[in-house]
Homo-oligomer: A and B are copies of this chain.
Amino acid sequence: ITNLWTWLQQIAFEAWNFGRSDPRKIISSAKMGLALVLISLIILFKDLSQNSVWAIMTVVVVFEFSVGATLSRGYNRGLGTFSAGAIALVMAELSILTGNLEEVFIIISILITAFCVNFVKMYPPMKQYEYGFRVFLLTYCCIMVSGETIKEFFDTAVSRLLLIALGAAVCLAVTIFVYPIWAGDDLHNLVVKNFMNVATSLEGCVNGYLQCVEYDRVPSKILTYEAYDDPAYSSYRSAVNSTNQEDTLVCFAIWEPPHGRYRMFKYPWKNYVKVSDALRHCAFMVMALHGSMLSEIQAPAERRLAFNSELQRVGTEGAKVLRELGNKVNKMEKLSPGDILSKVHEAAEELQKKVDKKSYLLVNSAKWEIGRRAKVLSDPEDTDEDLDDKTKFLAKSLSETVLDLRSVKLSKSWNVHNTNTSAPTSLLEDDLSENMFKKQISWPSRFSLNSNMALSEESSTYESASALSLATFFSLLMELVARLQNLVDSFKELSEEANFNEPSIDPLVPEEIGGI
């Protein structure tokens, strides 16, 4: 009994949390209860219990979370019932004409109708009317089988239609007039949330990269793209994954009458999805940036920090643009005059110039067949402070490389040339059984043991790979900046189509001054 009690407590707690997370769910449930009570009262007091099932069924089946979904369900049900009724009426008439072949005729007509309806139902563009087709088939079969003559048919059909209409009316009245929940609002908020999420992810990735956040063990949930509680990851994941939700919401939103802030017939809901798609195109780049953070071959910290301020600036400016656009969508304002992208482009250009000057940090010049290090270093024209910089790094590639490599994680499979793989293999197997994390095997232990020629060659191979990974991070970031243009364009299209307000006061100006 104590077990049962704690179990009940747990459930109540869970339900409470779930309800608090989105109070509209509680409201929606209460509305469903209200609709059912209303229809029950009507049935009880009007004594309609004979065919009451139709009214109740309509309420139960048509009632959905948002106004748009309920309207689309109700439309499907109404049209399905009505057209099936009309066609069945004609067919029933015809079946009487066939005389004693009546039953054969009925069976064949059911077979053909069922086949056609089911076939059309599976045609992808008809997907949204799936429910209507089911209702059609149900009504058609019921009428045909009950073998009603026209007289009977009209009586029952009318009473059924009335009951269904009654149920639908109760449903619609409750959804629209009692605390309406609009799918359009949801879509609007989802798109805004996606903007903020991608901005958070971008900042998280750039900062994480500069702070050299290392995943000692890459969580296997990330490796299989499941939900995982890492802000940089979960934010872009939710933006990338919202496709289906958006598609569903847009299907419902187009059913909704003008309401609230969307005072316009044929509101361009589809443009919201377009903006979100363009945002997703940017989010894929954030995903790639995050991928290069997860990568097994990593650039050493000093090299990353050489570009610290420039990388940081591009990340911050990019996130600022995304947030600004998200706010504009939220406030339904057009873009302020002036190029919203100018700052981030400036920052990107700064970064590009810096990279250009210091591109020796991105490759391993030790391996070039010409112009070897030693020569370069003894060059008499080297005078400026950058020389120290370079000397430091190049010297490091001889002396400190061993140390740098400690941070380079290599998966087991890379070490096919090494013989003593027994220890790491068992580690790996331990991990597979644990199944929570996938551990990458670091190689310093073996590195210090056998330092033969092949190995040191391999290590310098990975050293240069590690530097190149920095180059990757740059160009992914640059590509992200380039993709922002596309996003801004689709936002402009939306703001035109949806008649967004002109911006009243430019909220960026004070912020910029504060920033500088």
Contact = CB atoms under 8 A, between A and B. Distances in A.
Interface of A: 15, 18-19, 25-26, 28-30, 32-37, 40-41, 43-44, 49, 52-53, 56-57, 60-61, 65, 103, 106-107, 110-112, 114-116, 118-119, 122-123, 134, 137-138, 141-142, 144-147, 223-226, 241, 243-244, 274, 277-278, 280-281, 284-285, 287-288, 291-292, 295-297, 339, 341-342, 345, 349, 352-353, 355-357, 359-360, 362-365, 367-372, 375-377, 379, 381-382, 384, 386-387, 390, 411-414, 416, 432, 438, 458, 460-462, 464-465, 468-469, 471-472, 474-476, 478-479, 482-483, 485-486, 489-490, 493
A493 to B, nearest CB: 7
A110 to B, nearest CB: 5
B363 A413 contact: no
Q: Is the interface of A mostly helix, strand, loop or mixed?
A: helix
Given A115-B32, A145-B44, A370-B381, A475 B284 contact: no
A412 B458 CA distance: 44
A118 B19 CA distance: 12
Contacts of A297: 475, 478-479, 482
A468 B474 contact: yes
Contacts of A103: 44
Given A119-B26, A145-B49, A33 B362 contact: no
B40 A224 contact: no
Contacts of A138: 56-57, 60-61
Given A223-B281, A356-B367, 18 more contacts: A29-B115, A29-B118, A36-B141, A37-B111, A43-B145, A284-B284, A284-B287, A295-B479, A341-B413, A345-B413, A352-B464, A356-B461, A357-B367, A360-B368, A362-B471, A371-B382, A438-B489, A471-B471
Contacts of A285: 291
Given A369-B384, A370-B387, A468-B471, A36 B342 contact: no
A243, A369, A438, most chain B CB atoms within 10 A: A369
Given A369-B357, A386-B369, A485 B56 contact: no
B368 A18 contact: no
13 contacts: A25-B119, A25-B122, A32-B114, A40-B145, A49-B146, A224-B280, A226-B277, A356-B364, A356-B461, A356-B464, A356-B465, A371-B382, A468-B474
Contacts of A413: 339, 341, 345, 485
B369 A36 contact: no
A210 to B, nearest CB: 18
B360 A362 contact: no
Contact of A224 (B29, B274, B370, B469): B274
A106 to B, nearest CB: 7
B107 A280 contact: no
A36 B460 CA distance: 72
A269 to B, nearest CB: 15
Given A277-B225, A363-B363, A432-B489, A471 B475 contact: yes
B33 A114 contact: yes
B357 A386 contact: no
A395 to B, nearest CB: 14
B363 A65 contact: no
A491 to B, nearest CB: 12
A341 B147 CA distance: 68
A473 B355 CA distance: 17
